[in-house]
Structure formats: C-alpha cells, structure tokens
Amino acid sequence: MIVDCAIYREGRRSEGPQDFSEALGEARATGDAFVWIGLHEPTAKEFDEVSQEFGLHPLAVEDALKAHQRPKLEVYDDSLFMVLKPVVYEPDSDRVSSGEVMIFVGDSFVVTVRHGEGAPLGAVRHRLEADPDVLKHGPTSVLYSIADASVDHYLEVADELQADLEVLEAEVFSPEGGRSRPTASRIYTFKRQILEFRRATGPLALPVARLSGAGPFSPSVPFVDETARPFFRDVNDHLTRVNESVEGLDRLVSDILSAHLAQMSVRQNDDMRKISAWAAMAAVPTMIAGVYGMNFDHMPELHWWWTYPAVLLLMVVLEVVLYRMFKHRGWM
C-alpha cells in the first residue's frame, strides 16, 4: 500500500498533484523540488504503477517486491537502488528480527519500499520535515537520513545484546548456574540472534563505503550529491563500530558456549568419580559378604564365636579407609 506521497520544495512539504507522473513533472520543472513516495509491502499491481511512472529497473523492482535481499547498492541508468535491513531486538524473548527497506533514488524522486515492522521510515520522514535545512538537499538527504537512522539503531541493538550477554555470562560462570542443558540451548539461540544481526550489518559495509567515497570507491555515485560524502563517512564510522561490536559478541558467545560445555564435561567427570568411589566402597563389603555366603563346609572360621563381629569390624575399617582416601583425593 502507498503510505505517503508528497512533493518537497526547498526542504518544505508542499501540496501537489496526486498523480505520480504530474507530481514528478512538476518537481523536475521547478528544479528545486523532488517527490518522495513511501510504500509498505506493496502488491505487484500497486508497484507496477509506480515503477512505470518513475522508470525503475525491472530487476530492482523484482527485488523490492520479493524482499529477502541482502543489503546492497546497485546503480542503474535512471536510478540508484539501495537495500537496508533495519533490526529490532526483543529483550524478553532474546530475539532479533529484521525488516527491509528498499530505496530508489533518481532525478527528483525518492521511492521507499518497506517490508516488516522494524523500518524507521515514518520517524525519518517526520524528522526531516521538521528540519528543512537538511531536506532541501534533495533525495540525497533522504537516503542519508534512512541509512543514518538504521545504523544508529544498530548501535542501540548492539548495546542491548551486550548487556544481555553479560547477564548470560554471569549466569553461566556462577557457582550454581549453567548446570542444565537448557543453558546451552539459550547460548546457542543467542548465537543465532547475533548471526541474524550480522546478516543485516556485515553486507552493508561495502555500500556505505561506496557512498562515502572511502578506499577504492572514490568515484562519485550517480544521483548522490558529492557534498554528502562526509555525512556518509560518519555513517560508515558508526557501521564499523557496529560490525566490530558484532564480531566481539560472536567471539564472546562462542567462548561462553565452549566454556559451558567444558564445565559440563568437568562436572560429569566429577560425578563419575563420585559414583566410582561409592561403587568401590559398596564393592568391599559385598565381596566379603559374598565369600561368607558361599556355604562351604570347610570354613573353620564360621564356627568361631568372634567371627561375626570381626567381619563387621573389618568391613567398617575398610569403608573408613576407602572413604578417607577418596576424600583426600577430592573424589567425594
């Protein structure tokens, strides 16, 4: 569905024709305006009307309709196509979910397509409309603001994941914590959420670097104002911090999982030692009782009056000796 459609002239929203083609023609005629159309999970029919009016490339249109794309930046003859994956973290369920934002930037127009609920487009539009000095820079300002909002939210999600991981780490390494298999399942689930987060942040590094003109991507990107490069460099710096944080989280949760499994192995060895010690202590009286339970005729000690207390005393002495020996070695 079409969420919003507006013409922006000199950074301010203005009334214009409802028809896409007329709105775009008016924006291009004045030279100081652009059209911004926002769509949320559009149908093929709805988006076909928009793509025809703005001359969007069929491959980009297909990606925008199907969603489930990796973050990327593609340049076509008549437009620039960028994919972002905003993320939402739900601390109660320790779940990272991602949406998708597709941005088409061309001559005097911006078309944004949102999939999922995590995209910050509504807040970005309101913030830009409240700041005409930024919005007057045209479609580039919209592209920058969406990318900046998404990456800034990545930082917040990374901080929330770090806080929850510290809680999980303290639980695993506490004296009484991490003794059950569900703990390992929680750690693995947490690792899966970090992987979902990485899928949103990792592939975005190359497109943002290209927009910022960093490294080998110094040539200008079509439909993007070169004066915006310093701002995209700031986004790139934030994204680098996010990716470094994600790498650290992934390594830490892997170390926690390895440590937890090692703890489980050590505890199992301790349990086996205790079981073996008790089994050895139980075996001694069982062996003695077994010997005297064979009912042989030629066992003269069976007829001695002190045999019964002597055998009981022997059992007790052996049990005490074994217990002290195992206790000294830490088996009990």
Q: State the average pLDDT for the chain.
A: 82
The residue among 107 and 271 whose pLDDT is bigger is 107
Q: Which amino acid is at 332?
A: M
Q: Does residue 151 surpass a pLDDT of 70?
A: yes
Q: Evaluate if pTM is beyond 0.85.
A: no
By CB atoms closer than 10 A (0-12, 13-18, 19+), residue 195 is middle
Query: Can you tell me the distance from the alpha carbon of 291 to that of 306, in angstroms, rounded to the nearest whole number?
Result: 17
Q: What pLDDT shows up at residue 171?
A: 79
Of the candidates 40, 148, 164, 146, the one whose C-alpha atom is nearest the C-alpha of residue 90 is 164
Measure the CA–CA gap between 191 and 65, rounded to whole angstroms: 30
What integer pLDDT is reported at residue 105 of this predicted model? 92
Q: 93 or 166, which is more confident? A: 166
What's residue 286's pLDDT? 76
Say which residues have a Cβ less than 8 Å from residue 57's Cβ, sequence separation at least 6.
Answer: 76, 77, 78, 79, 81
Q: Give the separation between CA 157 and CA 21, rounded to whole angstroms.
A: 40
**Is it the case that residue 217 has pLDDT exceeding 60?**
no
Do residues 149 and 123 make contact, with C-beta atoms less than 8 angstroms apart? yes
Residue entry with tokens 């000199």: 10
Residue, of 215 and 142, whose pLDDT is higher: 142
| pLDDT value, residue 103 | 93
> Which one, of 250, 62, 231, 55, lies nearest residue 137 by Cα?
231
Confidence of residue 123 (pLDDT cuts 50, 70, 90): confident
CA separation for the pair 178, 262 (Å, rounded): 11
Task: Taking residues 131-141, report their average pLDDT.
Answer: 87
DSSP state of 137: T
When pLDDT is cut at 50, 70 and 90, the band that residue 242 belongs to is very high
- Reported as a pLDDT band with limits 50, 70 and 90, residue 74 is very high
Over residues 125-153, the mean pLDDT reads: 89
**Confidence band of 53 (pLDDT split at 50, 70, 90):** confident
Q: What is the mean pLDDT of residues 96-101?
A: 87
Q: Could you write out the DSSP letters of every residue in 277-306?
A: HHHHHHHHHHHHHHHHTS--S--GGGG-TT
pLDDT band, very low/low/confident/very high, at 180 (cuts 50, 70, 90): low
17-31, 51-65, 262-276: which is most confident:
51-65
Q: Residue 233 to residues 135, 154, 224, 317: CA-CA distances in angstroms?
A: 19, 16, 14, 79
Handedness of CA 311, 317, 319, 321 (dihedral sign): negative
Band (pLDDT 50/70/90 cuts) for residue 332 is: low
Q: Which residue has the tokens 């700031």?
A: 234
Pairing of strands 109-115, 33-40: parallel
